[in-house]
């Protein structure tokens, strides 16, 4: 049983128990005490507690999984930054790319697009080529680490799509980047190790 379907059955069970508890049964007709079926109240308590435990555990597990998926997605799209007029992957950039590799390996259906961007200094036209080189550098790093080249598109936006305006070094450094977009297979992201 896959993890997802196991989680789904737990949720269904927990839901059913919760529904059973919530409903107030119609009041039974008065009957002779001896003839009435014995309700084992301790067993019911145990059963309810057990269901609640399972429900809580499923919710916690679900939450944990959701957080892990979100973290994986965030790692997959984490930006890589560059020095001025450079396309070399820095040590920091390598760490960011290294974190993407296991996610891509775990999710062979995922395809991504690397988008190379530049700060606005210099020729707008030359910056298109520079952005292409930056996107290609990240793609090459990932393919060197075993990711199939066919899963990675690259595009350059040059200096046409700044995320920070202005002429401060801070703005420039935010704009010298590769962005990563998930173009296919991102809906059922699996987390490495599951």
Our CA angle for 89, 142, 147, nearest 5°, is: 175
Whose Cβ is closer to another protein: residue 72's or residue 119's?
A: 119
Q: Give the number of other Cβ atoms within 10 Å of residue 82's Cβ.
A: 26
For another protein, give the closer residue by CB, 125 or 187.
125
Site membership for another protein, residue 185 (CB under 8 A): no
155 near another protein (CB under 8 A): yes
Among 161, 184, 193, which residue's Cα sits nearest to residue 174?
A: 161
Contact call for residue 173 and another protein (CB under 8 A): no
CB of 145 to another protein, least distance (A): 15
| Residues 70-129 close enough to bind another protein by CB under 8 A | 85, 122-126, 128-129
**Are the beta carbons of 121 and 184 closer than 8 angstroms?**
no
> Which H, E and C letters describe 70-135, residue by residue?
HHHHHHHHCCEECCCCCCCCCHHHHHHHHHHHHHHHHCCCCEEEEEEECCCCCCHHHHHHHHHHHH
**Looking at 81, 140, 162, 171, which residue binds another protein (CB under 8 A)?**
140
Least separation in angstroms between residue 128's CB and another protein is 5
Rounded Cα gap, residues 20 and 91, in angstroms: 57
Compute how many residues bind another protein; rule: CB under 8 A. Answer: 22
**Residue 17 binds to another protein (criterion: CB under 8 A):** no
User: Does residue 56 touch another protein according to CB under 8 A?
Assistant: no
The residues that touch another protein, with contacts defined as CB under 8 A, are 85, 122-126, 128-130, 132-133, 136, 139-140, 149, 153-158, 160
């Amino acid at each position: 049983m896959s993890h997802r379907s196991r989680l789904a059955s737990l949720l269904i069970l927990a839901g059913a128990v919760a529904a059973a508890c919530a409903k107030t049964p119609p009041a039974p007709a008065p009957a002779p005490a001896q003839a009435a079926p014995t309700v084992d109240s301790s067993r019911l308590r145990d059963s309810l507690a057990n269901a609640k435990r399972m429900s809580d555990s499923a919710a916690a597990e679900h939450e944990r999984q959701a957080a892990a998926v979100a973290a994986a997605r965030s790692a997959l799209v984490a930006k890589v930054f560059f020095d001025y007029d450079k396309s070399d992957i820095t040590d920091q950039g390598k760490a960011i790319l290294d974190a993407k590799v296991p996610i891509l390996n775990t999710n062979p259906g995922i395809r991504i697009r690397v988008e190379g961007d530049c700060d606005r200094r210099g020729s707008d036209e030359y910056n298109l080529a520079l952005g292409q080189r930056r996107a290609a550098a990240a793609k090459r790093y990932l393919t060197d680490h075993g990711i199939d080249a066919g899963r990675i598109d690259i595009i350059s936006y040059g200096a046409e799509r700044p995320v920070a305006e202005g002429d401060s070094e801070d703005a420039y450094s935010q704009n010298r980047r590769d962005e990563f977009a998930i173009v296919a297979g991102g809906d059922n992201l699996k987390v490495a190790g599951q």
